[in-house]
Structure 1
């Protein structure tokens, strides 16, 4: 597969300082990797397939900002003690293609970087053709899809809350794309470092001007100073009808409770509220989403679709998913690069083998139940908003369809 998604040159962005890992770079250059070195700040806005970083004492806030802004496969090298830190393990699972424990060999690093490059190329190719949608058969996901249709034309500020990786930005983009403003700009602004860009300056229009015809997506609102909050409140009062979407992982609500963010401004920004579901509370959707990502990205490399092994399904069900759907997608895409057998295994996902009962499929009835569940998931993925059509697709009645959903705990 590495040949299928190869690129003409090997570009590697190296985040300094690399410390004790410097001796690993010379063999990379001899093997044809073109290295560009810099700090997290100097690499901002850079493009490249793979980023190599030593996770030793890197500050997490600027690192997370770069992870969100750069379309690349990140590879970390770190010592075992750092890997044991909970926040580092969660960060790696959600954002990184791979993490190598030190000491490692140049050969091991080179193989990992080649796989990461294939992963990055796969993502870029898929990104050119991917249609956005909000999947899920759980009650929250179905409600959100209905709200998308109802709220896309609401000319009032809207707040989307939810844990990281749960689809807040996706939901905002879908709201924009389904509105009459879809032909205009959707601009995303992180107020944590760009609050001054909100308002007009001499010779330069502020980001809020975008919300008059297009959509302005704001994050990091909890960091706004008191004077900036006052200025924003006045602007919203004098410019009604702006298409303004704010996203929060809970920090904005906490800031209001602590008195650091104005309640009147919060009420105006949260005139309409949406909440994205947590993946660990939607476990019946786990296989549906994983299969969707596998088919979506696997089609790019032209290989037959791999199903997930029973141990992989058990591992996914048992995992806590702190990074929610983004972490699931990241792990599935990575597994497409790493999987060697006929199935995707728990190890390919970077998860421990599940300990759930009945992991092995040994009887005819086991195979029948598995095929039945897969058929239901496929029908639901294709006709998520039309249960009657989903039932007709399978050639069964709607009551039978609902009975099977209940049997397999898909509702």
Structure 2
């Protein structure tokens, strides 16, 4: 029996009613999209869907370019319907090869294409299940663990494995890669998840205060100690203690921490009572620990106590397609910070995202996207909005992306030169005003409002 409530996005200029009826009979809810804008509206949900792209209805090249972002959506399984000989066109051949699970050439039997779309939909559902298995638990904080590249899948598998034990974990990686998020994920998957997760940045606390922050103190232990204070280690009893930037821990505190790890007991400053504390320790740093030990800045015996299990955080520049995935995720998350509605990232912005080295990793990406959301003046975030304009020309882009970016730029310059007068801009570009409106619409550059008295848009 066919599953109910499957969603089909049928992109066509000429609806085949018999084909739609076949889909309805097989349990599909058909939504027809006659343009790129209609397709984007139909794709607002992240739920799995089937997609039928009717290329035989002859979309023009600008509409095909505008449809391309819809075809990249990972939650839709696309199948193309083509006219005889249409696959001889290199642009359409690349489109089908890059984004479609299958294609069928007319004339075709309706059951055949319904089966093909059903297969594409099934593959999308299977992929979504694999991603769910690889996903860590939900997280709070400035960023979230988002990714589907092999490096992140390996990280998610490591998180699941180490969460099942109680051994100390050492998380290494560059600044901004999400070491604390990984530590939270381990805690939330462990048997200690109902107990506290306590974090302390060993490099952010002055040396003379670090001992009291870690171990606490009794009333009268020093000037200003008017009452007892519980330290971070004791506050994490039963849960997880996260020691961030452990490489910056002073040698004096390293000795005290080593003694706690060996004995499982602490003494508050100014106290004489030995207190048993049960915590799981996760530590992290961005520095080269082997070099720190060789230079005498970090005790080797403490390092080996902390580094029973090790996890390496991948830098953002090594995460490939995840860079764009993260950027879009952050746009959705912080979209409300902007003063106008954004449609996404321009082609030059995508190129710059992939070409930039990201020394600040995910933290830098979040900051650049948030700033661009506020500062952007167009409907798309550009490389200039991300302050990465100098990384566009040398970035690897497809011919379609380069053509789209160049076309947008020429139109924008013409409109600026003529102060938004569509007729004058169209004349300079050598096209009709109707064609200019259509180009603006296909590029998502603005909502189209015809000038008073202009009746030609009805064509």
- With structure 1 as the length reference, what TM-score do the two structures score? 0.53
- C-alpha contact 1:152 1:175 (8 A) present in aligned 2: yes
Match of 1:216 in 2: 241
2:202 is equivalent to residue 195 of structure 1: no
> Which residue does 1:139 correspond to in 2?
150
- Paired with 1:336 and 1:360, the residues of 2 have a C-alpha distance of 27
Q: Is the 8 A contact 2:171 2:282 kept in 1?
A: yes
Instruction: Give the structure 2 partner of residue 259 of structure 1.
Output: 296
1:365, distance to aligned residue in structure 2 (A): 11
Alpha-carbon separation, structure 2, partners of 1:211 and 1:251: 27
Q: Answer yes or no: is the 8 Å Cα contact 1:155–1:241 preserved in 2.
A: no
Q: What is the Cα deviation at residue 175 of structure 1? A: 1.8
Question: 2:297 and 2:148 mapped to 1: Cα distance?
Answer: 38
CA shift digits 1:206-263 (9 cap, x unpaired): 2212343122111233333333222211111111962111110025443112122111
Partner SS state of residue 325, structure 2: helix
SS in 1 for 2:237: helix
The change in CA–CA distance for 1:303 and 1:179 in structure 2 (over 3 A counts) is farther
Which of structures 1 and 2 has the bigger CA Rg? 2
> Which residue, out of 161, 181, 188, partners 2:172?
161
* Higher mean C-alpha displacement, 252-261 vs 310-319: 252-261
Q: How many residues were matched structurally?
A: 239
2:186 match: 175
| Contact 2:202/2:248, CA 8 A, preserved across alignment | yes
SS in structure 2 of the partner of residue 347 of structure 1: coil
User: 348, 355, 361: which is aligned to 2:400?
Assistant: 361
Structure with more contact order per residue of length (Cα contacts < 8 Å, sep ≥ 6): 1
* Residues 241 and 275 of structure 1: CA distance in aligned 2, closer, same or farther (over 3 Å): farther
In the TM superposition, what is the alpha-carbon distance from 1:343 to its structure 2 partner?
A: 1.2
Alignment match, 1:307: 344
Partner of 1:159, secondary structure, is strand
Q: Mark the CA change 1:345 to 1:180 in structure 2 (over 3 Å): closer, same or farther.
A: same
When residues 299 and 320 of structure 1 are mapped into structure 2, their CA distance, relative to the original with a 3 A threshold, is: same
Q: Contact 2:337 / 2:374 at 8 angstroms: preserved in 1? A: no
2:260 paired with 1:235: yes
The structure-2 alpha-carbon separation of the partners of 1:208 and 1:253, relative to structure 1 and needing over 3 Å to count, comes to farther
Q: Quick one: structure 1 residues 129 and 263, their matched pair in 2 at CA, closer, same or farther if it must change by over 3 Å?
A: closer
Distance 1:261 1:302, change over 3 A: same
Equivalent residue in structure 1 for 2:369, among 310, 332, 343:
332
Aligned to 1:344: 381
After superposition, the Cα gap between the structure-2 partners of 1:259 and 1:151, relative to the gap in structure 1 and judged at 3 Å, is same
4+ runs of 1 displaced by more than 6 Å? 128-132, 300-303, 362-366
- The answer for the alignment partner of 1:61 in structure 2 is none
Asked if the contact 2:169/2:281 (under 8 Å) is kept, the reply is: yes
Say if 1:132 and 1:174, in contact at 8 Å, map to a contact too: no
| Cα separation, partners in 2 of 1:364 and 1:330, compared to 1, 3 Å | closer
For residue 317 of structure 1, report the CA deviation from its aligned partner. Answer: 1.4
Instruction: Return 263-272 or 276-285, whichever deviates more.
Output: 276-285
Q: Does structure 1 conserve the Cα–Cα contact (< 8 Å) formed by 2:172 and 2:310? A: yes
Partner SS state of residue 246, structure 1: strand
Structure 2 unmatched ranges of 5 or more: 1-138, 219-227, 265-276, 406-459
